[in-house]
Homo-oligomer: A and B are copies of this chain.
Amino acid sequence: MIRFNSDYTEGCHPAILEKLMATNMEQTEGYGEDAYCKEAVEKIKKACHAPEAEVHFLVGGTQTNVTVISAALKHYQGVITAETGHINVHETGALEACGHKCLTIASKDGKLTAKQVADYVDAHFADESFEHMVQPKMVYISNPTELGTIYHKEELKALYRVCRERGVYLFLDGARLGYGLMCSENDMELSDIAANTDVFYIGGTKVGALFGEAVVITNEALKTDFRYNIKQRGGMLAKGRLLGLQFSVLFEENRYFDISAHAARLAEKLKTELKNMGVEFYIDSPTNQQFPILPDKILDKLREEYSFSYQARVDEANSAVRFCTCWATKEENVDALLNSIKKLLGR
């Protein structure tokens, strides 16, 4: 079985395991106050060109989303998200379990526009019953989105501008950030993300780490007492060094970006070759998630050798499915997949 069903099918970059081995019996402080965390914080601040930022390490994405959002909001405030947003769909209501509503906006490509956000917030305060509705106070976006699309610099800047004008925080979920920043369509650097959000995170789980997400907070108001929130939401890892150490290795030289580029390249190959076979796509994704539309009749056969996920029914005979590449994907496996599809499609 060759797996393309997610971007966390393997363990971690070997350099991380080596470092774990080398440091295993060292004694350190717990809860993220060790030297490895400090080192990783410095590397990340530098990579972000954000010397004043606060950086915290959490274990997983749902936990990170919940911690960041609930830390920012008062009880009666909610977070604007695309309907497709991970927090709205695939976190078993973790955010609502913290008391906060997802304020959804319909979106075809998984993105939110500055205008959509401006209109939503303005409509709230213009409504005579505004106090009877959840107050929008944060905007959640993911980059890449759950549909693999990315924000361009001008889009993000415009979003951040309408947020600041309205006193609303902008939070970017970067679970797959590397794959966005290293795809050919991208025009942003890490520092652009840092400069145009109030808080965001750099995903490790899907990009080379065993696990771990690095939250970067640039807005002063969101820094206060953040560690209480981490602890309350169950995210304060006892052996916090494991997180610091992993991000320190990922941000050594250009590793985080290099391994991301590998995944982006293979995804692009997959897309190009499938297009060459005449396969159409559910959405035009430039990143490591690809959503081809395939005939239902070949899916079961394909599943015998490859794992992938089902995305949506397109018509009676065809479905969109999802293939993910990642830092660990072998090119030979992509080639094998392409060959298998080609054969099954009879092209």
Q: When the two chains form the complex, which single residue of B1, B89, B234 contacts A133, counting CB atoms closer than 8 Å?
A: B89
Also in contact, A92 and B24, with CB within 8 A (given A9-B30, A97-B99, A239-B8)? no
A229 sits at the interface (CB 8 A): yes
Q: Mark A75-91, 1 if CB is under 8 A from B, else 0.
A: 11010000000000111
* B90 A101 Cβ-Cβ under 8 A: no
Q: Mark A216-230, 1 if CB is under 8 A from B, else 0.
A: 000000000101110
A278 sits at the interface (CB 8 A): no
Q: Mark A1-41, 1 if CB is under 8 A from B, else 0.
A: 11100101111101001001101111111100000000000
Also in contact, A76 and B27, with CB within 8 A (given A234-B60, A237-B59, A239-B11)? no
A121 sits at the interface (CB 8 A): no
Also in contact, A75 and B132, with CB within 8 A (given A20-B11, A100-B93)? no
How many positions in chain A have a CB within 8 Å of any CB in the partner chain?
77
A297 sits at the interface (CB 8 A): no
> Taking each of A23, A237, A328, which has the highest tally of chain B beta carbons within 10 Å of its own beta carbon?
A237
* B233 A234 Cβ-Cβ under 8 A: yes
Also in contact, A60 and B238, with CB within 8 A (given A93-B232, A99-B96, A225-B76)? yes
A231 sits at the interface (CB 8 A): yes
**Chain B residues with CB below 8 A from A228, complex form:** 76, 92, 131, 135
**Chain B residues with CB below 8 A from A74, complex form:** 71, 74, 225
Q: When the two chains form the complex, which single residue of B24, B26, B205, B225 contacts A238, counting CB atoms closer than 8 Å?
A: B205
Q: When the two chains form the complex, which single residue of B11, B92, B206, B310 contacts A131, counting CB atoms closer than 8 Å?
A: B92
* B210 A239 Cβ-Cβ under 8 A: yes
> Taking each of A1, A128, A239, which has the highest tally of chain B beta carbons within 10 Å of its own beta carbon?
A239
The CA of A3 and the CA of B299, in the complex, are separated in Å by 56
The CA of A321 and the CA of B288, in the complex, are separated in Å by 48
A318 sits at the interface (CB 8 A): no
A338 sits at the interface (CB 8 A): no
Nearest CB in chain B to that of A100: its residue: B96
Copies of this chain, complex-wide, total 4
A295 sits at the interface (CB 8 A): no
**Chain B residues with CB below 8 A from A21, complex form:** 17, 21
Nearest CB in chain B to that of A329: its residue: B27
A195 sits at the interface (CB 8 A): no
On A, residues with C-beta under 8 Å from B are 1-3, 6, 8-12, 14, 17, 20-21, 23-30, 59-63, 66, 70-71, 74-76, 78, 89-94, 96-102, 104, 128-129, 131-135, 205-206, 210-211, 225, 227-229, 231-239, 241-242, 307, 309-310, 328
> Ordered nearest first, which 6 A-B pairs have the shortest CB separation?
A63-B234, A11-B24, A76-B228, A93-B134, A92-B232, A93-B101
What would 20 A/B residue contacts be, using CB atoms closer than 8 Å? Answer: A11-B24, A11-B26, A14-B24, A59-B60, A59-B237, A60-B237, A62-B234, A70-B75, A75-B97, A75-B232, A76-B225, A91-B232, A93-B99, A93-B100, A93-B101, A94-B233, A96-B100, A104-B104, A131-B227, A131-B231
